[in-house]
Amino acid sequence: MGQYGMKKSIIIIGGGIVGVAAALKLQLDGHKVRLIDRGPPGRETSYGNAGVLSESSVVVLNNPRLIKALPKLLLNRSNGVRYNPWFVLRRLGWFIRFLAHCRPAHGRHAALSLRGLLQLSLDQHKKWIKAAGVDHLLRHGGGWFKLFRSAKAFKNYAAEMDMMRAVGVKFTVVEREQIRQIEPGLAPIYYKGVLMDETCAVSSPADLTDAYLGMFQAAGGVVECAVVSGLARDDDGWQVRSAEQVFRCDDVVLAAGAWSAEIAGWLGYDIPMAWERGYHLHFAPAPTSNGTPESTPALGRPVLDVEGGFVVAPMRPHLRVTSGVELTDRDAPPNFQQINKSVALAGEAVTLGAQIEDKPWMGRRPTLVDSLPMIGAAPRHHGLWFNFGHHHIGLSMAPGSALLLSALINDTPPPLDPAPFRASRFAI
Ligand SMILES: Cc1cc2nc3c(=O)[nH]c(=O)nc-3n(C[C@H](O)[C@H](O)[C@H](O)COP(=O)(O)OP(=O)(O)OC[C@H]3O[C@@H](n4cnc5c(N)ncnc54)[C@H](O)[C@@H]3O)c2cc1C
């Protein structure tokens, strides 16, 4: 029990969308919450994603098809996945554990677990977006369009569609002619498309995080700018240290995305995390025939070119091209090959106007070996909670993770089965 009756003082480390959503929920629960980030919240990985609020992304990367695709991926020429061989060798144990999850049984378990968390999250996103008065950011439904250039690629997608059907995801297979009716801005290069009927999207992930942060502060939550450099517990609770200050609290939530494993490591936890880095670049809307830029983006929703391994997403006011996965050290210097190739391939699909920034943005998707996030109590420290590892779908899963975490902290019935997300599923 905390010093505020049943309510506690809680520090959240990390102000990405996952930390902000957790802070908002816990503050609304009546706790006294302090959110600490080393910079402005929502400006790391949560800033530069494709804006998809998915309830359909239930098939994890380490599914049985990955094993079949492995020989080709090892050539390291796929634009969708690139790896640094030295990183793979150094982290061979992580990769073996990741690949060991490419089993049908794990695929089904992960799909069911993610589906529950994604649906809970989308429902809560809609409520918070309404409460924050930022409806203009939200595209309701049909917010994710996967596109296939060849019959072969579409055939390879059959297993994913089977899994989506099995867990209740609603989607529509679209033929070549209909693709252009749905997205007139696309060049006629696609053989088929799969439109996710209920998936939504936002036109600015940063504005969304800011809106939730605004609600958190309006409810009395406190935001601190500090680099957390130490964590310790004594009889009075937790001490969260930066070079300048010591913050005290009853409970700590670690939600620092790709940096969470390092921070948990200070307390002796060996978190099986790697980083799937990704990049983006922005482009002005395509110029019209008389040379003036169009006032609306060429696309109505984020589209994924499955073979090309890139996404083009309409953001306000630009088009955002995002790249696939780069497996390398979290802090290795950026390598722009994939985003440059993505931009070239995207130019075949949509007309891009002028490039906005000189240098691509880079983010780090935090991924655990079973491709499920870690949400719940730290196994060996009372009052320490984990909330990280949301890999490709952290923007989507943040609110559901917050609801689950809040139920665990408040010791109330959880909104879904917490077992798949427990930290204790690993010997850490
Ligand atoms: C190219 C790309 C496209 C993507 N597209 C989508 C998408 O369309 N939909 C979707 O759902 N997901 C998408 N994702 C994934 C999503 O962006 C991530 O899962 C999500 O942003 C992770 O959020 P987070 O809060 O865990 O981490 P972050 O946003 O990285 O936040 C972690 C925070 O911790 C802070 N921090 C770290 N260390 C410290 C410290 N020592 N002291 C203080 N603060 C610290 C950082 O400053 C940072 O703000 C995409 C990712 C990428 C890279």
Q: Which of 329, 346, 368 is the last residue of a domain?
A: 368
The 3-class secondary structure across 89-114, one letter per residue, is: HHCHHHHHHHHHCCCHHHHHHHHHHH
Residue 52 inside a domain? The answer is no
C-alpha torsion angle, residues 84, 88, 89, 90 (rounded to 10):
100
Q: How far is the CA of 178 from the centre of ligand 1 (A)?
A: 35
Q: What is the pLDDT of residue 291?
A: 57
Same domain as 151, residue 130: yes
Pocket-testing residue among 137, 392, 405, ligand 1, by greatest number of atoms within 8 A of Cβ: 392
Nearest atom of ligand 1 to the alpha carbon of 394:
19
- Which among 112, 146, 118 is positioned nearest to 53, based on CA atoms? 118
Q: What is the pLDDT of residue 330?
A: 97
- Is residue 342 within 8 Å of 313, Cβ to Cβ? no
Q: How far is the CA of 377 from the centre of ligand 1 (A)?
A: 21
Same domain as 375, residue 262: yes
Nearest CA to ligand 1 atom 22: 394
Same domain as 338, residue 247: no
Quick check: helix, strand or coil at residue 365? strand
Pocket-testing residue among 12, 13, 46, ligand 1, by greatest number of atoms within 8 A of Cβ: 46
Q: What is the pLDDT of residue 277?
A: 98
How does pLDDT run across 116-126, given as a tens digit for each residue? 999 999 999 99
Same domain as 169, residue 103: yes
- Is residue 372 within 8 Å of 389, Cβ to Cβ? yes
Distances (CA, A) of 403 to 77, 264, 326, 411: 40, 22, 31, 12
How does pLDDT run across 134-176, given as a tens digit for each residue? 999 999 988 899 999 999 999 999 999 999 999 999 999 999 9
Q: Is residue 205 within 6 Å of ligand 1 at its C-beta?
A: no
- Is residue 274 within 8 Å of 94, Cβ to Cβ? yes
Q: What percent of the chain has pLDDT over 90?
A: 94
Q: Would you list the DSSP string of 292-344?
A: PBPSS-S-SS-EEETTTTEEEEE-SSSEEEE--EEES-TTSPP-THHHHHHHH
Same domain as 280, residue 260: no
Residue 150 inside a domain? The answer is yes
* pTM (predicted TM-score): 0.96
Residue 1 inside a domain? The answer is no
Q: How many domains does the chain have?
A: 2
**Residue 355 structural domain:** 58-203+274-368
Nearest CA to ligand 1 atom 2: 49
Residue 3 inside a domain? The answer is no
Kindly report the average pLDDT of the chain as a whole number. 95
Q: What is the pLDDT of residue 289?
A: 58
Same domain as 307, residue 178: yes
Q: Would you list the DSSP string of 170-199?
A: -EEEEEHHHHHHH-TTS-S--SEEEEESS-
Nearest atom of ligand 1 to the alpha carbon of 397:
11
How does pLDDT run across 204-261, given as a tens digit for each residue? 999 999 999 999 999 999 999 999 999 999 998 999 999 999 999 999 999 999 999 9
Same domain as 294, residue 152: yes
Quick check: helix, strand or coil at residue 82? strand
Nearest CA to ligand 1 atom 25: 16
Same domain as 381, residue 362: no
Same domain as 93, residue 38: no
Q: Is residue 396 within 6 Å of ligand 1 at its C-beta?
A: yes
Residue 236 inside a domain? The answer is yes
The domain that holds 246 is classified in CATH as 3.50.50.60
**356 Cβ neighbours under 8 A, 6+ residues apart:** 281, 282, 283, 284, 318
Q: How far is the CA of 227 from the centre of ligand 1 (A)?
A: 16
pLDDT above 90 for 383: yes
Same domain as 282, residue 186: yes
